[in-house]
């Protein structure tokens, strides 16, 4: 006899999960499953990935407390395809089957596993299409001369250097100028490199390039 966990979710506090519960108990009875626990999220949106009851269900799944999770409908588990597949993937790795009453989806059988594979492939295709559309839009914007990304921060570099010369810390300089410590560090490093390059490129005072009055 398989041990089953029932998961129920209602999005508003004035809704009641009893209708879902009756159908799930009936399904479990028809298949001869032992219901070991019922998890219910009250007044929680399906768009939220973190939910108290769902988090507890997944934690118990890791401890091997049941072999199958039963829901009334797939949208009770998740509203987004991505989150739905993430939960199914976790259950699959734990060898826990998933059954949805309304869609008659059962990952314990070959048809159910095939459906999940198809859903995963479609979701991956959709993600790739979105990425390609974003990249195409960025390429078009560059060709049109539009700036991509955030504008560079306008910083008084001379003021930053003066603050540093006067012994202020990176955090103090950053706070005074409204910028990050990393940007302050970058400005100081750039100034240091520029100073070194200027010194290395300065001509040495040999007999050929000394001022006339210094020549022997």
Give the domains, in start order, of the chain with CATH numbers.
Answer: 3-108 (3.40.50.1390), 157-198 (1.10.10)
Question: Is 11 one of the catalytic residues?
Answer: yes
Q: Is the pLDDT of residue 36 over 90?
A: yes
pLDDT at 202 over 60: no
Q: Does the structure show a pLDDT above 50 at 216? A: no
- Mean pLDDT value of segment 73-97: 86
Question: If you average pLDDT over every residue of the chain, what do you get?
Answer: 81
Model confidence pLDDT, tens digit, residues 42-67: 776 656 667 889 999 999 999 999 99
Q: What angle do CA 111, 115, 116 make, to 5 degrees?
A: 120
Catalytic residue, chosen from 11, 159, 185, 204, is 11
Predicted TM-score (pTM) of this structure: 0.56
Looking only at the bridges linking them, the beta strands covering 97-100 and 34-42 are: unpaired
In this predicted structure, the answer to whether residue 8 has a pLDDT above a threshold of 70 is yes
Question: What's the pLDDT score for residue 201?
Answer: 56
> What pLDDT is attached to residue 61?
95
């Amino acid at each position: 006899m398989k041990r089953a966990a029932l998961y129920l979710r209602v999005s508003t506090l004035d809704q009641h999960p009893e209708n879902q519960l009756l159908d799930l108990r009936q399904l479990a009875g028809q298949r001869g499953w032992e219901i070991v626990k019922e998890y219910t999220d009250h007044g929680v949106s399906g768009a939220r990935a973190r939910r108290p009851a769902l988090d507890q269900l997944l934690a118990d799944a890791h401890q091997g407390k049941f072999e199958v999770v039963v829901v009334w409908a797939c949208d009770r588990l998740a509203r987004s395809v991505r989150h739905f597949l993430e939960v199914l993937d976790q259950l699959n790795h734990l060898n826990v089957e998933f059954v949805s009453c309304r869609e008659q989806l059962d990952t314990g059988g070959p048809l159910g596993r095939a459906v999940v594979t198809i859903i995963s492939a479609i979701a991956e295709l959709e993600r790739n299409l979105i990425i390609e559309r974003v990249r195409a839009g960025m390429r078009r914007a560059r060709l049109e001369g539009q700036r991509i990304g955030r504008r560079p921060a306008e910083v008084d570099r001379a003021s930053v250097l003066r603050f540093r010369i006067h012994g202020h810390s990176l955090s103090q300089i950053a706070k005074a100028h409204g910028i990050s410590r990393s940007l302050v560090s970058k400005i100081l490093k750039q100034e240091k490199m520029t100073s070194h390059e200027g010194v290395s490129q300065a001509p040495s005072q040999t007999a050929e390039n000394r001022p006339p009055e210094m020549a022997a």
